[in-house]
Every structure is written in structure tokens, then in C-alpha cells.
Amino acid sequence: MLSRIAEALFWIGRYVERADDTARILDVHLQVLLEDSWINEDLACRSLLSVMGIEAPKGSVGRGRVVELLVGDEANPTSIVGALGAARDNARGARQIVSAEMWQVLNTSWTVLPEVRRDSVSVHELLAWVHERAAMVAGVADATMSHDDCWHFLVLGRSLERADMTARLVATRSIAGGPSWTHLMRSCGAHQAFLRTYRGAGGDENEAEFLLLDRLFPRSVYAALTAAETALQHLDPVRGRSGVGEEARRVIGRARTGLEYRGAAELLTDLPTEMWRIQRACSQASDAVLRRYFPESVATPWVAEVTS
């Protein structure tokens, strides 16, 4: 397989997941602002932009400005429109590998996006549409692509992005006017699965444990890191007698075990720092993948979280 094709699939996985998770984070943030009129909107919006790695503009920052930056900025690959456009461009460059059905979903999503933005009754309706299209891409890819190396590059990109974005979502828990754990669960589609798993027993520790450490829920940080590690194992099996020679696997493995062997109560004591470590590990692993498999490429990394 050509390095160019593998790289395109890796970034398709990342960009589609980025659009989906950005929509999830923005949706829960807007819902919290709507429900609690006592929240300092400017401070909450600036904190959210910081978590998302976007420097807040000068002057007052409200929900309209946040929507503009996280949804409609075509030049920014961290926005929903920018990510969907980048995913479509990468799919166009890998048409010989991407199935016709998958290309049709990505191309149609990009083509009708301006119309959906214009006709949506509310921002929440637009964000729900983004969820549906991302789920459709994932389902079509799963059903129409051979699960060979091409597939594993797609899953690798998606899993790294998911772990990073779930960590960012959890990090919003500690910002000014941040969402409750229940809001975070709902934004990840995890609330019903959580209630079934814990039989209705809530509490910050149980909810944090589920979203960070659950092995069976696919959007948990632990499950996403495990999926990325498994994809790398298929792409480059360990052949030596000791250790793991592949740098990306070492980085992801350290991050995964750092979660696996620590309880939720310990993670909650310094949640922002722990989530920053996950984001840093995902960034380092992505850089290692680019060096290992796409040495001629120019990386398109996540912007680091803005610190004041």
C-alpha cells in the first residue's frame, strides 16, 4: 500500500471523528449555557476555546462567536466545517481504496453542508446532523471496506482522535460553568449504557470511571487507546524477544496503563492534568505514526491547549 493512501485513510479517520466530537462538546456547552442563566458566558466561552486549543478573540466572547469558530471556520481543520472538508479531500485522494459508498457519504455530507447550515432551525439541529453523518461514515466504512491495513490506518486515526477528544470533553468538566457528568455522558451517548452498567447508581466517581476506564464502551478513553494500540499491533507486529520497538505503541501503552492501574478517585483529584497527559500522549503517538509511516508528510496536529 502506498504511503500516500495510508496517510489519507489515517486523516479521514481523524477528521471525521474530530467533526463528530467537536459537535458533541459544543452541543453540551450550549445546553449548559441555556439551562443556567447565572453562568458568566464570556468566561465559560473563553475556557471552552482554551480547552479546544483556540485562542479567544479580543473583546466579549459569547455563544455566537464560539459557534462561528468551532463550526463555520473553513480554514481551520479543528472546526466542524474544516474537518469535514479535509476528510472529503483526503477521501478524494484515495478513491482507489475508499469504497464508493464511503466516498458518496463523505462527498454528499460536504455538498449539502451549506444547505443544512442555512436551513437548520437551531444550532442543536445542525450538530445532531453532524453526529448522524459521522455515524454513517463509520458504519459504511465498517461494512464496505476490507479489514486489512487500510482499515487499520482508518481505525488508528479515529481512535487517537477519539481518545484526545474525549479527554478534552472531560476537561470541560473543570472549566468555569462546566457541564455536569450527566451532561458529559449524554453528549457521548453513554448515559443509557452507564445506567445499565451501574444499575442507576450515579456519583462523580462512577461516572468518571465509566467515561475514562470502561473497557467495553467504545467512546471511553481507555477503549479508544486500546483500539489504537490494537491497530498498531496489526500494522507492525512485535517480532523481537523483548519490549516494543515501535514508538507510537510505547506512548499509547504508557497512557493506557496509566489509566488502567489507577482508580477513578485518584484521577479525579487532578482531572485537568490527567486529561492533558492523555492529549499529550495522543499528540506524541500521532507524531510517531507520521514519522514511521509517512516520513514525507507535513503533520496537521491538534493545536495545544491555550494557557493563560
Confidence of residue 306 (pLDDT cuts 50, 70, 90): low
Rounded Cα distance between 5 and 9, Å, is: 6
Q: Are 207 and 185 in contact (CB under 8 A)?
A: yes
| Among 302, 301, 296, residue whose Cα is nearest residue 4 | 296
Three-class SS state of 247: helix
pLDDT in tens, 31-78: 888 887 778 888 888 888 888 888 877 878 888 888 888 998 887 888
Does 268 score more than 80 pLDDT? yes
pLDDT in tens, 98-142: 999 999 999 999 999 999 999 888 899 999 999 999 999 999 999
Kindly state the DSSP code that residue 308 receives in the 8-state scheme. -
Average pLDDT over the chain reads 87
Q: Quote the pLDDT of residue 19.
A: 95
Count of helices and strands (H, E) across the chain: 14, 0
Confidence of residue 299 (pLDDT cuts 50, 70, 90): very low
